[in-house]
Amino acid sequence: MPKKTLTDRFLAGARAANYFDTTVRGLCFRVTPAGAKIWSFVYRVKGGGPQWMKVGSYPALTLVQARAAAKGLRRLVDVGRDPIAETRAAAATAAAPPTPVAPILTVRTFAKTFITFQKGRKQTWHEDELKIKKYILPAWGELPIASITRTMIAALLSDIAAQGLTVGVNRVQMVISRMLAIALSEGHIDANPASRMEKRFAEVARERVLTDDEIRALHAELVARPSEAADVVWLRLLLGQRGGETEGMLWKELDLEARTWFLNGVRTKNGRPHLIWLPESAVAILTRARGRVPVKTPHVFPSMSASITADERALYGVAATFENFDWRDLRRTFSTGLGDLGIEDGVIDRLLNHAAATISRKHYNHAKYLPEKQVALAAWDRELARILTNKPKTSRVLVMPSR
């Protein structure tokens, strides 16, 4: 039987024959005389004859997915297991009354449960969702979650690293480990194979901030794609607040007349109440939002509080053209920009909600340091306007209110 390094172009025009993939041992692409195209996995167990196991049909199952499935089956064979025998045994057990057999829980099915779980516990759950859809489901989506092994995890991480991803591989590893930890806690697996795996890449504290050119490029993309997501991205840079706090902004937290945004601590990452003054550009964005959102809608950006839409996901990928970009760079650019404008570190800390929480600040004096915040945010608003118009920077001394 011919061996072939399979490609999508070859598969589309392949004639009736059996073609064994040279990349993944045992994967066979079968084209019947009638033109049907079938993926099979061929293997031997304990010296027996060849066993043919149907994996799926092409193009419903892509080349990448077929190779990933074949790799998983090969690992089972390598440890002495017989996939066909196990499948038949499972089918026989399921068919034998009266003992009911629970359906096999696939990675794709459990991923939905995991994302729902993350929504209630992590403000950046959508980042986990993107990693699962981009890296995990194409490789393991149709496999039983109980079949995932430590070796499979290591192989997947190596494949991702081979694509050029570095520290991002660590992020994918964390999602895999967390997902399997939840599967373990719910009794779907007996152990977490990702537990205590070493990270592939050393991590250092990030220091990256957006350049003026990148800020202009980002703003141009946001203007070209007007949406709630575009408003959220610019507000994150303008106000310096965390992504989840900005995306989940509520109308009851805002006083547009007084130009304030108050977070009572329930929605802040550190649980501390936080008062932000709204500069002119922020008020303009929120006023536009008020005009397009029904009065009884609690969220300022309703679509951002649900699952991300395709358009919004594309917008969130806009900055991928910036070298080594991370969304937290917006917050770092905000704080660095304020420092360059001469804003004191203590005021920047309070704007970032990093300052130590005293009893009075927690419960009573929410307006403390509001004048300083106002000066700082107004100055940053002007600085962004200067950057967008590409005007030269002027040396202007900011006079902070005396206390």
How do the pLDDT tens digits run along the chain, 403 residues long?
578 889 999 998 899 999 999 999 999 999 999 999 999 999 988 777 888 999 999 999 999 999 999 999 999 988 888 888 888 888 877 776 656 666 889 999 999 999 998 887 776 788 889 999 999 999 999 999 999 999 999 999 999 988 888 878 888 999 999 999 999 999 999 999 998 888 888 766 567 788 898 899 889 988 888 888 889 989 999 999 988 888 889 999 999 999 999 998 888 877 788 999 999 999 999 999 999 889 889 999 988 755 555 555 555 555 555 666 677 888 899 999 999 998 998 899 999 988 554 444 444 455 568 889 999 999 999 999 999 999 887 765 555 565 5
Domain holding 166, by residue range, is 107-185
Q: Nearest to residue 396, comparing CAs of 345, 340, 352, 317?
A: 340
Three-point CA angle 202, 269, 325, nearest 5°: 40
13, 275, 307, 308 from 298: Cα distances, Å: 54, 19, 17, 18
pLDDT of residue 357: 47
Same domain, 82 and 152: no
Tokens of 82: 């017989």
Same domain, 263 and 343: yes
Same domain, 290 and 268: yes
Find out whether 347 and 277 touch, Cβ atoms under 8 Å.
Answer: no
**Domain end (from 95, 119, 151):** 95
Same domain, 150 and 45: no
Same domain, 90 and 112: no
Same domain, 174 and 291: no
223 domain residue, yes or no: yes
Residue 56: give its domain's CATH number. 3.30.160.390
373 domain residue, yes or no: yes
Q: Residue 308: how many CA atoms within 13 Å on its side-chain side?
A: 24
| Number of domains the chain is built from | 3
Q: Nearest to residue 128, comparing CAs of 187, 186, 168?
A: 168
**Domain end (from 71, 95, 119):** 95
Same domain, 235 and 361: yes
Segment 34-85, tens digit of pLDDT: 999 999 999 988 777 888 999 999 999 999 999 999 999 999 988 888 888 8
Q: Specify burial of residue 277 (Cβ count, 10 A radius: 0-12, 13-18, 19+).
A: buried
136 domain residue, yes or no: yes
Q: Nearest to residue 183, comparing CAs of 129, 135, 115, 114?
A: 114
Q: Nearest to residue 138, comparing CAs of 60, 62, 26?
A: 62
Residue 375: give its domain's CATH number. 1.10.443.10
Spell out the residues 6+ positions from residue 110 whose beta carbon is closer than 8 angstroms to its own.
Answer: 145, 179, 183, 188
102 domain residue, yes or no: no
Same domain, 298 and 275: yes
190 domain residue, yes or no: no
202 domain residue, yes or no: no
Same domain, 245 and 358: yes
